[in-house]
Amino acid sequence: MDFKEFNFNPELLEGLLAMGFRNATPIQTEAIPLILDKKDLIACAQTGTGKTGAYLLPIMNMIAGTANRHNNTLILAPTRELAQQIDLQVEALSYFTNISSLTVYGGGDGIAYEQQKRSMREGVDIIIATPGRLISHLSSGLLKLDQLQHLVLDEADRMLDMGFYDDIMKIVSYLPQVRQTVMFSATMPPKIRKLAATLLNAPEQISLAISKPAEGISQQVYMVHDAQKVPLLSGLLKTDVYKSIIVFASTKEKVKNLGKVFRNLGLKAEAFHSDLGQNERESILLKFKNKQLPILIGTDVLSRGIDVEGIDLVVNFDVPHDAEDYVHRIGRTARAATKGTAITLVNQKDKRKLASIEKLIEKEVERIPLPEHLADIPVETASSPSSHSRPKPGDANKPKRKFWKKKPGKPAGV
């Protein structure tokens, strides 16, 4: 559908065309008319489908035709990085309009905080915020949202995964009951439907089937035990074949540990996690985007909160719990019709997760044989980052279990 068919404000449309956009994506085609009709909406659409434009464009169009625009719209996002990305899109789309925006998040220096306070007092059209810092401004009385007309929850599933349910409900208590509420989520588990039932009024629903990984992604699987993961990756990452790499691990602690292990092996890598100061996180992301840092290690939050071109390898050090997260992770590579590689390391306990992934993407991922020199690595070694326990007295005399050894008497395939 051509964007001209939505009859947007001329200045807003001019900004769209100047950015080279002509046709709406499927989620935009379905969502924009509903939001323009001031319907509440719950939409299931993953990153990379144009979902940000799906809610920004109709809301900005309504703002352009509104007289009272003081703190008109609030967009909640789970991470500072996503809030900044949304703000960049607002700035680009509003280039030919006088629509203003403000990002509110933790971290930063005193100057940035004072700028936030001044903008809040004067009022802006669109506030893009993470829940924690926004609550502090609302509680202090500095920010008033009693005239708010639009509330957007972007990546609502990720906000709930990060424990923001109570914060969201507290923020909503400061908002007028009569408002338009729009919720976007990459997945639609029961907790999201429950939240939608609480916040939305007779909402319209859109659910786009999760898109398959881009054809340009070479998907590969190595069947390993945990002690083989680091030696295997060390060999792959030292080949200079890949210049920009993201490694996904299951927990923050494992991300930290992998950062130390990789650096000890001579790899230029940084762990990206919430225990870092905001300035540290921004510095790491900037180095990664500028190709000064080849390897970035993070959890699934990173898969939704980073938009970097030119990533040529994604590694799943741990198989993600949800098959949808696999698609999000490997979608960081092969963007804009480029080529990329996604490598997943699968141990015995993760075989069922791999089966779920292959069912979702309707494709069997290619199995790559391990290099011969890794075959003799013991199942448990001191160098394994996932091995935290010390051997107990007498353990040395116990027979070691072989990896994936079949139980006696069971035929193959059972």
Examine residue 114 and state whether it is found in any structural domain, yes or no. Answer: yes
Asked whether residue 174 falls in the same domain as residue 267, the answer is no
Count of domains forming the chain: 2
pLDDT at 386 over 90: no
Asked whether residue 164 falls in the same domain as residue 226, the answer is no
Examine residue 15 and state whether it is found in any structural domain, yes or no. Answer: yes
- DSSP for 295-325? EEEE-HHHHHH---TT--EEEESS--SSHHH
* pLDDT range class, residue 399, cuts 50, 70, 90: very low
pLDDT of residue 1: 87
Asked whether residue 231 falls in the same domain as residue 364, the answer is yes
Q: Which amino acid is at 220?
A: Q
Asked whether residue 272 falls in the same domain as residue 366, the answer is yes
Per-residue model confidence as pLDDT tens digits over 202-217: 999 998 866 678 788 9
C-alpha distances in Å from residue 393, one per residue of 59, 157, 270, 338: 66, 46, 36, 54
Which of 207, 233, 250 marks a domain boundary?
207
- Of residues 99 and 47, more confidence is placed in 99
Asked whether residue 221 falls in the same domain as residue 286, the answer is yes
Asked whether residue 78 falls in the same domain as residue 202, the answer is yes
Which of 186, 207, 228 marks a domain boundary?
207
Per-residue model confidence as pLDDT tens digits over 324-345: 788 878 988 876 666 899 999 9
Per-residue model confidence as pLDDT tens digits over 11-45: 999 988 887 788 998 999 999 999 999 999 999 87
Examine residue 118 and state whether it is found in any structural domain, yes or no. Answer: yes
β-bridge pairing 101-104 and 366-367: unpaired
Per-residue model confidence as pLDDT tens digits over 69-102: 889 999 999 988 889 889 988 998 888 998 999 9
Asked whether residue 234 falls in the same domain as residue 298, the answer is yes
pLDDT at 303 over 70: no
Rounded Cα distance between 113 and 295, Å, is 32
pLDDT of residue 172: 96
Average per-residue pLDDT for the chain: 84
Rounded Cα distance between 157 and 163, Å, is 10
Asked whether residue 178 falls in the same domain as residue 270, the answer is no
Per-residue model confidence as pLDDT tens digits over 375-385: 777 665 434 45
Asked whether residue 17 falls in the same domain as residue 161, the answer is yes
Asked whether residue 21 falls in the same domain as residue 98, the answer is yes
Rounded Cα distance between 414 and 412, Å, is 6
C-alpha distances in Å from residue 245, one per residue of 270, 311, 340: 11, 6, 10
∠ Cα 184 276 139 (to 5°) = 60
β-bridge pairing 340-346 and 217-223: parallel
pLDDT at 116 over 80: no
pLDDT at 388 over 50: no
What whole-number percentage of the chain has pLDDT above 70? 85
What strands lie across the sheet with 295-298, from one edge to the other? 269-271, 295-298, 245-248, 313-316, 340-346, 217-223, 366-367
Asked whether residue 57 falls in the same domain as residue 118, the answer is yes
pLDDT of residue 360: 85
Examine residue 389 and state whether it is found in any structural domain, yes or no. Answer: no
pLDDT of residue 392: 44
Backbone torsions φ then ψ of 145, nearest 5 degrees = -120, 25
Asked whether residue 329 falls in the same domain as residue 197, the answer is no
User: Structure pTM?
Assistant: 0.64
How many other β-carbons are positioned within 10 Å of the β-carbon of residue 1? 15
* pLDDT range class, residue 400, cuts 50, 70, 90: very low
What strands lie across the sheet with 180-185, from one edge to the other? 101-104, 126-129, 73-76, 150-153, 180-185, 41-44, 204-207
Cβ partners under 8 Å of residue 169, min gap 6: 198
∠ Cα 196 200 201 (to 5°) = 140
Two tokens at 40?
A: 């509440």
Per-residue model confidence as pLDDT tens digits over 162-180: 889 999 999 999 999 999 9
Examine residue 328 and state whether it is found in any structural domain, yes or no. Answer: yes
Examine residue 399 and state whether it is found in any structural domain, yes or no. Answer: no
Cβ partners under 8 Å of residue 226, min gap 6: 347, 379, 380, 384, 386, 387
Rounded Cα distance between 180 and 78, Å, is 20
What whole-number percentage of the chain has pLDDT above 90? 49
Examine residue 403 and state whether it is found in any structural domain, yes or no. Answer: no
Least confident of 104-118, 172-186, 356-370, 393-407: 393-407
Range of the domain at 320: 217-379
Q: H/E/C letters for each residue in 20-88?
A: CCCECCHHHHHHHHHHHCCCCEEEECCCCCCHHHHHHHHHHHHHHCCCCCCCCEEEECCCHHHHHHHHH
Examine residue 411 and state whether it is found in any structural domain, yes or no. Answer: no
DSSP state of 178: S
CATH number, domain containing residue 31? 3.40.50.300
* pLDDT range class, residue 122, cuts 50, 70, 90: confident
